[in-house]
Amino acid sequence: MLKISHINTFIGRKKIIKDVSFQANPGSIVGLIGPNGAGKTTIMKTILGLTKFTGNISVEDKSVTENDHAALTRVGALIEHPAIYPFLTGLENLKLYSLDETDMNHVFSLLKMDSYINTKSKDYSMGMKQKLGIAIALLNKPQLIILDEPMNGLDIEATILIRQIIKQYAAQGSAFLISSHVLGELQKVMTNVLLITEGKIIVDQPIDEFNRVSHKQYRVLTEDMPTTEKLFAANQVPVTKSDEYLLIPRELSYQVQDLLYDHHIRLIELSPQGLNFEQTIVSLLEQQRRQNHEK
Amino acid sequence: MKNSLKQEFFKFSHQRIPLYGVIALFVLMLYSAVSKSGVSRGIVAQGFGAGQWVTIIMITIASTFMAMEYQNRTIMTLFYKSSNKSFIYFAKLIVITLYGVSLLLLGIVLTFILKMVMVGNRYSWLANYNQHPLWADLLLNILGTLVYLIFIITLAFFLIALIKVNAAVVGVGLAVIFLGADLSALVMSGLPAIASIVKWNPLNMIFVINQFTNAIYVKVSGLSDFQLVAANTVYAIIFIVVGDVLFKNRRV
């Protein structure tokens, strides 16, 4: 469906996206996660041929270039803000892009926009505008749907509705690339995790695999935690604080035991800790930051 | 391209701005008719200033029609939904040009109405003056305006792609229309040695509005009717080509 190979994106002379490769298959929901300024929106814009880039992007085996968007015929997107004309009604905004009236009616009914679809969109609330932006992205039965922060401004009912719609479209074969700062929301729908920081992909895994193997940690509790912390720092043991514990990567558990023993620090607890999704992401980003800093 | 044209027509026709353009033209032509003690034949021949007013209205509308895509942040959707970014630029250009031409035609109709109401039979449409009947003077002035209209619309599109700020584009456009002729004439009279080059400057292009019916302007512009039309056309082509390149390569 979507194949990205070794793309580099530049803004001016600055390289924002660095040698990024990944793919999204039919039916997959790829969650694009990363801190502010990591390059999430830039990747999305690049796929849509809106930035200068090197490398290859193809949608359904057709290449996308900065000036040739023929491959994007069956791609829908919501990037940064809903792209709507305030002087048009919701329905007129949809008509602008719709190729099939039945599909258009289906989309706004699905999003429960019937009651205000004929109102000028300048009178819409933020949530209504967001839903209209998502409706535009869903028009014409897209094979690839790119949503940048789709839950922005949505109330709880609308959030649940959008989640259901995303799953429904994915079940019908559409691929999604979604970014969101609300990790909990993303976690509920995504099938693949794509973690990006400083323009580089550091994790590209199916969510099940990510949850199962990648990031189990061990928690450490000693009788002298301040000294332990200093000792770990001096020996470059990456740690994450969690309540009174220090979390360390699983593969370092033996090394840590030896280290504590050598320095006569009594170990009270060393046990496996399954991090929740959010903690894992934060931990991975911290590790990456530390690695970059060491370089 | 067909789809882009359809979209741009749809957007333009669903805004109030085309209606405001028509109302503004009528009010400004009425102002031209009543602001002086009497309506002269020259005022009628100039369509109660229709040419000048249409160019002023059009620089505002052209600039706004392009700038709204950036203000509403719709430009990204337009870009990725269009197989070629140039289609959007040219579709907008065609829509605005057609509206400008329609406004000029409306100007002719309003001129006939205003003359009938304000002047009656005082100046006959068929009576010759300066070797032309009044109706021919009117049409020639409108024809000159049409040439300049293309220049001014393409200039507005070029400027919005270049400086991005609607108000600035309107300001520059109005300065070109109001001050261009005087400034150009001043430079040419002040620098006679290089007048043969300076006469081709873009500010001089506005003389095409009046020169077809009044040969005295040839001395001021330094260009023949043919040269003026050709120069306006060349400038329009340059503005279109450069504007399109800027538009396509602008970061969104």
Nearest CA-CA distance, residue B93 and chain A, Å: 18
What pLDDT was estimated at residue A214? 54
Q: Where in chain A is the domain with CATH 3.30.70?
A: 216-274
Q: State the average pLDDT over residues B208-227.
A: 79
CA distance B232 to A108: 48
Give chain B positions within 8 Å (CB) of A77.
Answer: 76-77, 80
pLDDT confidence band for A164 (50 / 70 / 90):
very high
State the virtual CA torsion across A39, A45, A51, A52 in degrees, nearest 10: 70
CA distances from B94 to A70, A241, B152 (A): 23, 63, 14
What are the two backbone dihedrals, phi and then psi, of residue A177, each rounded to the nearest 5 degrees? -125, 115
CB B51 within 8 A of CB B144: yes
By the CB < 8 Å criterion, does A92 face chain B? yes
By the CB < 8 Å criterion, does B74 face chain A? yes
Among all residues of chain B, which has the CA nearest to that of A48? B80
**pLDDT > 90? residue A171:** yes
Nearest CA-CA distance, residue B134 and chain A, Å: 42
pLDDT confidence band for A168 (50 / 70 / 90):
very high
Fold category of A216-274 in CATH:
Alpha-Beta Plaits (3.30.70)
Cα angle A161, A165, A166 (rounded to 5 degrees) comes to 120
**pLDDT > 60? residue B28:** yes
Structure tokens at B67: 């700038």
User: B154-193: per-residue pLDDT in tens?
Assistant: 998 998 888 878 888 888 888 887 787 788 778 877 777 7
CA distance A44 to A177: 8
Is the Cβ pair B84, A86 closer than 8 Å? no
**pLDDT > 70? residue A129:** yes
User: B90-138: per-residue pLDDT in tens?
Assistant: 999 999 999 999 999 999 999 988 888 877 777 777 777 767 787 888 8
By the CB < 8 Å criterion, does B20 face chain A? no
What pLDDT was estimated at residue A94? 95
What pLDDT was estimated at residue A274? 66
A90 compared with A215, residue with greater pLDDT = A90
Domain boundaries, chain B: 2-249
Other Cβ atoms within 10 Å of B147 Cβ, number: 20
pLDDT confidence band for A66 (50 / 70 / 90):
confident
ipTM > 0.85 (yes/no): no
What pLDDT was estimated at residue A36? 87
What pLDDT was estimated at residue B183? 82
Q: State the average pLDDT over residues B62-76.
A: 90
Is the Cβ pair A96, B15 closer than 8 Å? no
Among all residues of chain A, which has the CA nearest to that of B8? A96
Is the Cβ pair A77, B77 closer than 8 Å? yes
Is the Cβ pair B76, A86 closer than 8 Å? no
pTM of the model: 0.80
| Residues in chain B, total | 252
Residue labelled with tokens 């009914």? A109
Is the Cβ pair B7, A85 closer than 8 Å? no
**Candidate from A245-259, B1-15, B83-97 with smallest mean pLDDT:** A245-259
B73 compared with A283, residue with greater pLDDT = B73
Q: Where in chain A is the domain with CATH 3.40.50.300?
A: 2-211
Spatial CA neighbour of B38 closest among B123, B108, B109? B123
What pLDDT was estimated at residue B74? 92
Strand duo A144-148 + A175-179: pairing? parallel
What pLDDT was estimated at residue B95? 95
By the CB < 8 Å criterion, does B2 face chain A? no
Is the Cβ pair A96, B10 closer than 8 Å? yes
Sign of the dihedral defined by the CA atoms of residues B13, B17, B21, B24, in that order: positive
What pLDDT was estimated at residue B217? 75
Spatial CA neighbour of B242 closest among B154, B159, B158, B153? B158
B223: alpha, beta or left, given left = phi > 0 and alpha = psi -120 to 50? beta
Percent of chain B exceeding pLDDT 70 equals 99
What pLDDT was estimated at residue A174? 93
Among all residues of chain B, which has the CA nearest to that of A42? B252
For chains A and B, what is the number of CB pairs under 8 angstroms?
A: 68
**Residue-by-residue DSSP string for chain B:** -HHHHHHHHHHHHTSSHHHHHHHHHHHHHHHHHHSSSS--HHHHHTTTTHHHHHHHHHHHHHHHHHHHHHHTT-HHHHHHHSS-HHHHHHHHHHHHHHHHHHHHHHHHHHHHHHIIIIITTSS-TT-EETTEEHHHHHHHHHHHHHHHHHHHHHHHHHHHHHH--HHHHHHHHHHHHHHHHHHHHHHHHH-GGGHHHHTTSGGGGGGHHHHTT-THHHHHH-S-HHHHHHHHHHHHHHHHHHHHHHHHHS--
Give chain B positions within 8 Å (CB) of A87.
Answer: 14-16
Q: State the average pLDDT over residues A12-28.
A: 89
Is the Cβ pair A69, B68 closer than 8 Å? no
Percent of chain B exceeding pLDDT 90 equals 32
The CATH architecture assigned to A2-211 reads 3-Layer(aba) Sandwich (3.40)
A295 compared with A256, residue with greater pLDDT = A256
Provide the mean pLDDT of chain A: 88
| Neighbour-count burial for A180-189, b at 16+ CB within 10 Å, e otherwise | beebebbbeb
